[in-house]
Structure 1
Amino acid sequence: MNTIIGFMKRNYKIIVVIVFISMTLLAFKINAKKENDPEKDKLLLELLTFVIEKGHYSPAEIDDTFSKGIYKDYIEALDPSKRFFLQTDIDEFSKYELQLDDQLLNKDLSFFDLTYNRLIKRMNESSDIYKRILNKPFDYAIDENFDTDYEKAPFAKSVADLNDKWRKQLKLSTLSSLTDKQKLEEDKIKNDSAYKVKSFETLEKETRESSIKSLDEYFGFIKDLNRNDWFSVYVNSITARFDPHTNYFAPEDKERFDVSISGKLEGIGARLQKKNDFTEITELISGGPAWRGKLLEAGDLIMKVAQGKNEAVEVVGMRLDDVVKKIKGPKGSEVRLTVKKVDGTIKIIPIIRDIVEIEETYAKSSIVNKNGLKYGVIYLPKFYIDFENKDGRDAGKDIAIEVDRLKKEGVNGIVLDVRDDGGGSLSTVVDIAGLFIEQGPIVQIKSAGRKKEVLYDRDKKIEWDGPLVIMVNSFSASASEILAAAIQDYKRGIIIGSKQTYGKGTVQNVIDLNQFVRSSSVGDLGAIKTTTQKFYRINGGSTQLEGVRSDIVMPDRYAYLKMGERDMENAMPWDKIDPADYTVWNKNGNFSQAISKSKNRINNNNQFQLIEENAKWIDSRSKENVYSLNIDKFKNAQAEIEEKAKKYKPILDYKNSLVFTSLPYETAIMSNDIALKEKRERWHEALAKDIYVEEALNVLDDLQSKPISKKSVPITVKKEKLVKY
């Protein structure tokens, strides 16, 4: 059992649940040798229901209201744009709307079987519909509209109605593509008077051919999904009724989750995608075995896979997940790929599998000189940890290393950027917060019916006692919010960013379901991630729903869109407990003054004012769902939008005058790693266009204890020994 938001003392309640479940179900044996086995599905429902009901922080009552929720979520997940099912299908399905709670308790699969079989039937019919529609030109002179608000749209009343819905949807798609192509032709003739402009008929045909290709790929992906995949959709419609973060992981999903939270895997280090019947290499992961071998390239198509010297297996037409399974494998083993190169030649490429670290997962830092001072920017994409190896990389250890490196470079302040950081390990939060305070509580944890537990930083050592700014946005969630809340409550640093963070104040545990069944013939049952606890700030308040409110609020282009926990159905409520005993940091003499200065700068900054105006416009645009399918009216509407959008172009074109560079150790590595060099250059270019980072650095200026000279002085760069980890 792994704790999603982090390692902590194992919850007594959870241990009791596991022991009880084990006693109840260990003797349960079934024969589930088939890939699609209803008996295995029934066992899965039994396990899920029991584990969630006994282990969830606040389990929902399984009743008719619960049933209606499952029904709504599941139908919406199967057909979100309402282009497969007919109203007659929905009428038939709706008879089960109040029966799904009983079916769950009785392990009855009749509703799932009905909807699954009907969906497959309707999808097969739809693949014929789009081909027939796209086989002939559209008439863009007709004055008609299409409403893209699928949530409010009704299901098609008949096959003819469904055909018309598909026609309008495809017409809108091709119309948008057609007008884009016409603009490109206009630009080409402006730049080259000798250019022969393509005819309307040619462009119109190209858009239909492109749409057919895209839909062929989409339906090819859909055909790769089997009954187990769709059953996972049904199961997650059930788990979502407990809260938004209780989910079922099918075996492949659990493996992907482990990779995402640890940032590493065992394999060849290549990203793959399905391309019609082929599996295409889309990217080689820097430092991985495929990258080191220099034989595999992006664009190569995998035809066959062999394990070492064994006979190669044809993988053309095979589903992507199955191809991935064949390519991945333990460190030190060999896989041989037969690939079709981009030049058409066929080659057999042997690769020795190894541990692959996904560099984008890990913390990274940069140096910037400003007003004669040097600052460090650390970006943390997630609070990663290797659950299987306590000596492996984790965010706590890596941030400590980055802080130490920045100290050696003589920085005068640090910005820690956790924007878009969705969370991860709780233990790493405690470790990271502990780098900036002497010692004390970091977060409070509460389990249902039990006293709170306070997690402390007990190390008196402070790694960094200088000016500190934490950058957040509305997608900073969970572990990010704990860190920001602790730094804010201690007044150790200034929180700057969106009005508030995401608002996820709950803790999840991942429980392997295979441990409860004795018979190996059942096959892999996957895992359940369920909410077992809530966490609270040291001031007693929950971050649930409310998130962390920034000390300095910067305008956000997406501030008015509903994307936080507070906008999710079944989200757990906000509450408060007693505060922990902690002492506020007293070494930030310019704290209040820095906040006040920043607010004044933001209020008087034309760029920020433009971002705020743009945010309101984006919100108004999100409510406009009706599009004309008449080409002249469509063009006029798009021209109006584009003219309005020109006003906001300076947001994307903005550049600050700052230059960001890598630390010396990384510069040395990049001399032999071109891919890493390119990634860092792209990051530094993005930082140089980031007004939010610029303002964070301005705040560091304001936090300095001594007046800042506006004249730049040369900086001496120290050499540092390469640190390997």
Structure 2
Amino acid sequence: MKSLVEFMKKNYKILIVVVLAAVGLWSFVDNKKKSDNDDAVLIEMLLFVLQNAHYKPADLNDSFSEKVYTEYLKNLDPNKRFFLQSEIDQWAVYKHDLDNQLIKRETTFFDVSHTLLQKKLDETQKIYREILAKPFDFSKDETLETDSDKLSFAKTHAELKNRWQKQLKASVLASIEDKQKIEKGEKEDKKAKNKNEKLVEKKSDQPKSYEELEKEARESTLKNLDDYFDIVKEFSRKEWFAVYLNTVLEQFDPHTNYLAPDDKKKFEESMSGSMEGIGAQLRKKNDYIEITEVIAGGPAWRQGELENGDIIIKVAQGDEEPVDIAGKRLDNVIKLIKGKKGTVVKLTTKKVDGSIKVITIVRDKFEIEETYAKSTIIKTANGKYGMIYLPKFYVDFETRNNKNAFTDVKKELEKLKAQGIEGVIIDLRNNGGGSLQTVVDMVGLFIEQGPIVQVAKPNGAKEVLRDRDRSVLWDGPLVVMINSHSASASEIFAAAIQDYNRGIVVGSKSSFGKGTVQNLYNLNDLVRFNNKDFGSIKFTTQKFYRINGGSTQLKGVESDIVFPDRFLYIKSGEKDMDNALPWDKIEKTSYTPFTYNFAPILESSRNRIKGNVNFKLMEENAKWLNERKDETVISLNYDKFMKKSKELEDKNKEFNQLKDYKNSLKFSSLPDEVEKFANDTVLKSKRDKWHENLVSDIYMEETVQVLEDLKQLMK
């Protein structure tokens, strides 16, 4: 999830505190540390910044130590398939000592654990190679617990080997099923292509035997594991140390992170004008990687099958054998997925409904500009409306264009008004945040003037950010769309519109729930080593609050009208993150809300939703997913595994009609864009694709109906 990052030049007051306090830093870093011990210097700087500038610095005590200890073990061995209980027991002496080691700038526990991990990697490689050398017996009635939190560490080498045996059986069994489905699909494709011809069956068309598929599955599993272990063994000590440091920093809050030099460069690259790859934001989720945002206009977005919430389990380069990414670090998965323009990557994904799908994407160069604000005209039998889609509250201080969300939305709004629209939809779904000042300015387009958001600082001081421009660009009907991935700045916008009673917020039950502000600080500004780069730290510096005094932290913004979605009953967002700062509230600030009575409109919409067959089906899907979320035991018996898989496949078919949904709305680009289409076919293709997606959007019709009801109210 993107952070609400206000860069250093915009947070000079906070940074002055750090810089002034840094005068005393050298008294804590002796000459030996300056010259020989980069680890100690790095720890010194990180803790120095956090203790002087973090919104709520954590106390370095035994409780903190125990949390670091527990989480670091999870990071080293998330599935409890490397270490024995006896080895973990030997580390128990460190459980309440890590705070002391940090204070002393020592790395004893890290060094001990890192040494043992290297040894365990070699031992584990021997175990899985031995197991995969022989065929599996899938007639046994065995099961595998996939939730590692329900498992203890293995007590003996035999138990550890048995754990690997079961895990590898599950991997091979799933691979066999995938290969069978692929064969079936290929056979059906051949029949379709030859339906008007006499099909001559060749020997190569004969399905492979079970023994052949099982052998291929073991070989591919072995290759994937070997590739994975080769990568892990190449990790430098510095890379593992960064993992340890981030385990420490994440105990302050989930948005406080250390960016090692390489990560810092990637972050800077992500802020550049364009990238090559598939166009998706990723995050680590348990053993695999989750799609958190499909970037509008990117290759994955154009391909159309990759969705937010998809879990990537394998990655293949073109026609090569897919690589299992279980346990891989996020940056290494990104390296596998990224690539040069024109090359092909195949992602084996697990959908939210549990189905497995291989998605083929041609990598391309995609412009960040395509993630800027864009608008469309919506025509119905009752009127003409405008919608502005804003993927983030961007701001660019570095280029001559000086682009930002406020000025771009203002331009789109002016163009829509010129077309005679009668209502406006602001689509903030999947908007992960951005510039704080930009969202303040943008709310000002819809109200005369007044407070927009309250910001609390570490010392308890409160600042109210206001719109001081008395002009109003749009005073007509307004609907704001959000979902569970709308975070930070998008939550500020939705909350302000809601608190002012200026418009109606529709979408997921609540938004993401991130009510904090982060700052990025270059650690090299604290020391003067000629040839060393210590990277950067991103840390939480402020909390923001609604003008009614409530916080969006954890709770998010609750929609006035809730649309059923697949995540309706699943806990997600900030409240699902460890060490998230708590919800609280402060005094409301003085503001004057509009006096519109939205109650009849909300009631009418809720009644329509109750009677909508597609929404009913979506809610059934959500309930089914909620029931399945605790199913963590899978059968390793071939017949039972395939039976369960068939049951899930049949159940998924009940919800497939949602994929075929089409609304009756008409979407069209604004005249100035249409003029560009003749010379910019890529832009036309992007807009056509966007409009196709909107026609398939199950939520658009009800959103427009709410807008039409508002039009009647505000006449």
The two structures have a TM-score, normalised by structure 1, of 0.80
Whether 1:561 and 2:570 are equivalent positions in the alignment is yes
Q: CA deviation at 1:403?
A: 1.9
- TM alignment of 1:170-249, pairs within 5 A: 170-186=168-184, 192=191, 194=201, 195-249=205-259
In 1, are the aligned partners of 2:477 and 2:714 still within 8 Å (CA)?
no
Q: CA deviation at 1:98?
A: 0.6
What secondary structure is seen at the aligned counterpart in 2 of 1:532?
A: strand
With 83-92 and 93-102 compared, the bigger mean Cα shift is at: 83-92
With 4-13 and 414-423 compared, the bigger mean Cα shift is at: 4-13
Distance 2:611 2:409 in 1: 35
Task: Report the RMSD for the aligned CA atoms in angstroms.
Answer: 3.6
Distance 2:644 2:548 in 1: 51
Q: Deviations over 1:448-496 (max 9, x none)?
A: 3343111111112222222111111122111111111001011111110
- 2:688 maps to what in 1? 681
In 1, are the aligned partners of 2:4 and 2:488 still within 8 Å (CA)?
no
Distance 1:285 1:575 in 2: 35
- 1:105 maps to what in 2? 103
Q: Cα gap change, 1:410/1:94 in structure 2, threshold over 3 Å: closer, same or farther?
A: farther
Q: Deviations over 1:532-557 (max 9, x none)?
A: 21111111111112211111111121
Q: Deviations over 1:588-614 (max 9, x none)?
A: 5x6333222211111111211221221
Instruction: Give 4+ residue runs of structure 1 displaced > 6 Å after superposition.
Output: 6-9, 29-33, 283-288, 298-301, 339-342
Q: CA deviation at 1:628?
A: 0.9
Distance 1:356 1:425 in 2: 22
Q: Deviations over 1:694-716 (max 9, x none)?
A: 221111111113899xxxxxxxx
Distance 1:433 1:258 in 2: 29
Q: Cα gap change, 1:8/1:550 in structure 2, threshold over 3 Å: closer, same or farther?
A: farther
Gaps of 5+ in 1: 274-282, 289-297, 302-318, 329-336, 343-354, 709-725
Q: CA deviation at 1:341?
A: 8.9
**Counterpart residue identity of residue 106, structure 2:** D
Q: Cα gap change, 1:160/1:405 in structure 2, threshold over 3 Å: closer, same or farther?
A: farther
**Counterpart residue identity of residue 76, structure 2:** L
Q: Cα gap change, 1:130/1:340 in structure 2, threshold over 3 Å: closer, same or farther?
A: farther
**Counterpart residue identity of residue 267, structure 2:** F
Distance 2:84 2:684 in 1: 53
Whether 1:630 and 2:637 are equivalent positions in the alignment is yes
- TM alignment of 1:102-501, pairs within 5 A: 102-186=100-184, 192=191, 194=201, 195-260=205-270, 262=271, 264=273, 269=276, 357-386=367-396, 388-389=398-399, 392-501=402-511
- 1:537 maps to what in 2? 546
**Counterpart residue identity of residue 663, structure 2:** N
Q: CA deviation at 1:672?
A: 4.6
Q: Cα gap change, 1:684/1:68 in structure 2, threshold over 3 Å: closer, same or farther?
A: same
1:90 equivalent among 88, 91, 109: 88
In 1, are the aligned partners of 2:393 and 2:439 still within 8 Å (CA)?
yes
Q: CA deviation at 1:689?
A: 1.5
In the alignment of these two chains, the number of paired residues is 639
Q: CA deviation at 1:300?
A: 9.8
What secondary structure is seen at the aligned counterpart in 2 of 1:377?
A: strand
Distance 1:497 1:44 in 2: 44
Q: Deviations over 1:604-631 (max 9, x none)?
A: 1121122122112111111011111111
Q: Deviations over 1:548-599 (max 9, x none)?
A: 111111112112222122233322222222222222135x5x6333222211
Q: Cα gap change, 1:396/1:79 in structure 2, threshold over 3 Å: closer, same or farther?
A: farther
What secondary structure is seen at the aligned counterpart in 2 of 1:704?
A: helix
Q: CA deviation at 1:57?
A: 1.7
Distance 1:533 1:201 in 2: 60
Q: CA deviation at 1:196?
A: 2.1
In 2, are the aligned partners of 1:7 and 1:425 still within 8 Å (CA)?
no
Whether 1:24 and 2:11 are equivalent positions in the alignment is no
In 2, are the aligned partners of 1:55 and 1:532 still within 8 Å (CA)?
yes
Distance 2:145 2:464 in 1: 52
Whether 1:649 and 2:656 are equivalent positions in the alignment is yes
In 1, are the aligned partners of 2:509 and 2:563 still within 8 Å (CA)?
yes
**Counterpart residue identity of residue 523, structure 2:** L
Distance 2:514 2:221 in 1: 39
Whether 1:70 and 2:68 are equivalent positions in the alignment is yes
In 2, are the aligned partners of 1:506 and 1:544 still within 8 Å (CA)?
yes
Q: Cα gap change, 1:141/1:517 in structure 2, threshold over 3 Å: closer, same or farther?
A: same
What secondary structure is seen at the aligned counterpart in 2 of 1:520?
A: coil
Q: CA deviation at 1:649?
A: 2.0
In 1, are the aligned partners of 2:395 and 2:405 still within 8 Å (CA)?
yes
In 2, are the aligned partners of 1:361 and 1:384 still within 8 Å (CA)?
no
In 1, are the aligned partners of 2:386 and 2:424 still within 8 Å (CA)?
yes
In 2, are the aligned partners of 1:382 and 1:423 still within 8 Å (CA)?
yes
